[in-house]
Structure 1
């Protein structure tokens, strides 16, 4: 399967990038790097892609398993190396589930399936970063 995107320079440090979904996004540097902060930072966008990829897997599995979850969020903390080219060498990803009737074992299975089998972005990150995955349950 081939995917094509086009990224167009909009002047200064800003770019507009197409997406197969039909939704474009802007990429820009922050003021500290001569940008105006009018778009996503490329490396942070990678972390959002990781959370989004795994989040979609887990949301789909929650639906298939007919689990009751009031809320769900993913938090990521990543360490960027000091030397160029700078990249993430350590990534901690926390899955937070909120609800009154959380089936922790099944939710953990959903997370594990995403982390170990389904999330392609996770597999890409494994090539260059140490991953630490945590699942937290908040029974309300």
Structure 2
């Protein structure tokens, strides 16, 4: 089995703002104060959400049920004490399209969360 190591580089801009991404690739802003960009904890929710969202869209297309509309919300519950890690993350999906019924949507979501999304 091959092990893949991913790397990112961060550069401090000002205040609590950083830019980062894969070396030589696209960058994203991270603002630890959540003022000008999402902070690290929100970025984690965005990463998890966009990972499963992309999976669900691809799976539904393979099921011959391409979505016409898709949106989702991701909510994370954090510990009260430090370190304030997430103890639970909840995903709410909203999607519609021809051929998309609840069992098909549920199957795509379950495959994403249980098999494909690696975040």
Alignment TM class, shorter chain as reference: 0.7 to 0.9
**Native 8 Å contact 2:57 2:66 kept in 1:** no
TM-score scaled to structure 1, two decimals?
0.74
Q: What's the counterpart of residue 65 of structure 2?
A: 67
**Native 8 Å contact 2:61 2:67 kept in 1:** no
Q: What's the counterpart of residue 6 of structure 1?
A: 9
TM-score scaled to structure 2, two decimals?
0.85
**Native 8 Å contact 2:9 2:21 kept in 1:** yes
How far does the alpha carbon of each residue in 1:54-97 deviate from its partner, in whole angstroms, 9 at most, with x for none? Answer: 01111111111110422111211221211111111122111112
Instruction: In structure 1, list runs of 5 or more residues that go unmatched.
Output: 122-140
Give, in whole Å, the separation in 1 of the partners of 2:23 and 2:48: 17
Secondary structure in structure 2 of the residue aligned to 1:38: coil
**Native 8 Å contact 2:18 2:31 kept in 1:** yes
Residue 100 of structure 1: CA displacement? 5.7
Secondary structure in structure 2 of the residue aligned to 1:10: strand
Moved over 4 A (4+): none
**Native 8 Å contact 1:67 1:103 kept in 2:** no
